Amino acid sequence: MNRLSQTFSALRFVLCVLSVLSAGSPALAQTPEKLRVAYTVIGPTQSTVWSAKEMGFFAKHGLDVEMVLLVGAPLGVTAMLAGETPIIHTGASAVVTSNLTGSGAVLIAGSVNRFPYVLFANEQIKRIEDLKGKKFGVSRIGSADNAAAQTVFARYGLKGDDVGYLTVGSVPARLAAMQSNIIQATLLQPPETLKAKELGVKALLDFTKLDVEWQQNGVAVTREYIKRKPDTIRRFMRGYVEAGVYNLTNPKGAQKVLQKYLTIKDDRAIEESYNEIVAKLTRRVPYPTESGIQIFLDQLKITNPKAAAAKPSDFTDISFLKELESSGYIDKLPK
């Protein structure tokens, strides 16, 4: 065999090995696609997207994801529309209001379909009606916690302008503002709920116990991005769904991820965050809730005629989830 033949034989062997390796490893089959993904609050409601990144589920499907914190759903939606973070894990209320202006923003998954909050208030507030004329802290005006508060308060006769909503920022920042009386009430999630109780701050109403479907947050993209990057979304959703199942079936692993992002060492606080939010509210197949979106539309239609004419399906695209479910992909995940 001459040198040229030997060279070709060696080359064929190398190509054969690479072919075998890449068949068993998606990462070797192609260069991972870089993707920026935003989340809009530091709280356990973000656990699925955090675990998808930390436990390698995005990487498994060929995505090199950079996680970005943009506090408050309106800011996240703005960044998405600008193309800075084409996929966001964010409050659904901002997605709906943006869509009503013609942005094309839609939910492709519904992460949390219940209220994840507990209402805390200072000693001046004895009942919900006492919030009239008081300052109420939210992450950002128009955010998920703002919409949730307005929806529940309306059931107690409080109109939108009866309460002074004030942008404060993150959940820990809202607890600090409560302590200094900058605000008189706010909605907290675990682990801040545990801290608030230890500090003697009064829990006025546990929203998690309300028997109400509510689209708290989820995964949002634009319809234009769906048309342009369907394969990217498809791979993102595989990793996202796998992460949700991982969180349900691996409590200890999920709690380690929570510990990293919540930056809390207290195991008791992390366990409460997992048990009260992640374990209770995560679903194997995270479809958005149409009734939960309708509640918000009913609230909006008082001031926005477009909301009155809209239907919940206008704000979602569940085709990727349907594809995963009908293919049997989700059934094969751990139970």
Checking if the pLDDT of 172 tops 90, the result is no
**pLDDT average, residue stretch 294-321:** 95
150 vs 221: CA distance, rounded Å: 25
6 vs 64: CA distance, rounded Å: 38
Same fold, 32-114+214-326 and 118-209: yes
**pLDDT average, residue stretch 128-150:** 94
The DSSP-derived string for 59-93 is HHTTEEEEEEE-SSHHHHHHHHHTTSSSEEEEEHH
User: Token pair for residue 157?
Assistant: 């006769």
* Local confidence band at 2 (pLDDT 50, 70, 90 cut-offs): low
pLDDT tens track for 210-239 = 999 999 999 999 999 999 999 999 999 999
Q: Within 13 Å, how many C-alpha atoms sit on residue 5's CB side?
A: 2
Residues 6+ positions from 298 with CB-CB distance below 8 Å: 307
The answer to whether 94 touches 144, Cβ cutoff 8 Å, is: yes
Distances (CA, A) of 326 to 239, 245, 321: 17, 17, 9
Checking if the pLDDT of 16 tops 80, the result is no
189 vs 117: CA distance, rounded Å: 5
Q: Which pLDDT score is estimated for 7?
A: 46
**pLDDT average, residue stretch 285-293:** 97
* Local confidence band at 318 (pLDDT 50, 70, 90 cut-offs): very high
Rg of the chain, C-alpha, whole Å = 22
How far is CA 133 from its chain centroid?
31
Q: Write down the pTM of the prediction.
A: 0.85
Would you call 264 helix, strand, or coil by DSSP? coil
* Local confidence band at 15 (pLDDT 50, 70, 90 cut-offs): very low
* Local confidence band at 270 (pLDDT 50, 70, 90 cut-offs): very high
Q: Which pLDDT score is estimated for 24?
A: 45
* Residue the block writes with tokens 């959940």: 171
User: Token pair for residue 313?
Assistant: 């399906």
Q: Which pLDDT score is estimated for 142?
A: 87
The answer to whether 147 touches 153, Cβ cutoff 8 Å, is: no
Pick the CATH number of 32-114+214-326 from 3.10.20.340, 3.40.190.80, 3.90.1150.10, 3.40.190.10: 3.40.190.10
Distances (CA, A) of 89 to 171, 216, 219: 16, 11, 5
Strand partners, 90: 218
The CA-CA-CA angle for residues 113, 157, 302, to 5°, reads 70
* Local confidence band at 255 (pLDDT 50, 70, 90 cut-offs): very high
Domain boundaries, the chain: 32-114+214-326, 118-209
* Residue the block writes with tokens 């498994």: 60
pLDDT tens track for 72-101 = 899 999 999 999 999 999 999 999 999 999
**In this predicted model, which residue has the larger pLDDT, 27 or 179?**
179
Helix (H) or strand (E) holding 107: strand 105-112
**pLDDT average, residue stretch 302-314:** 94
Report the CATH architecture of 118-209: 3-Layer(aba) Sandwich (3.40)
**In this predicted model, which residue has the larger pLDDT, 8 or 136?**
136
Mean pLDDT for all residues in the chain? 91
The answer to whether 313 touches 288, Cβ cutoff 8 Å, is: no
* Local confidence band at 170 (pLDDT 50, 70, 90 cut-offs): confident
The residue count of the chain comes to: 335
Name the phi and psi angles at 221, rounded to 5: -145, 180
Candidates 322, 84, 88, 317; CA nearest to 223 is 317
Checking if the pLDDT of 11 tops 60, the result is no
221 vs 318: CA distance, rounded Å: 12
* Residue the block writes with tokens 């939606």: 77
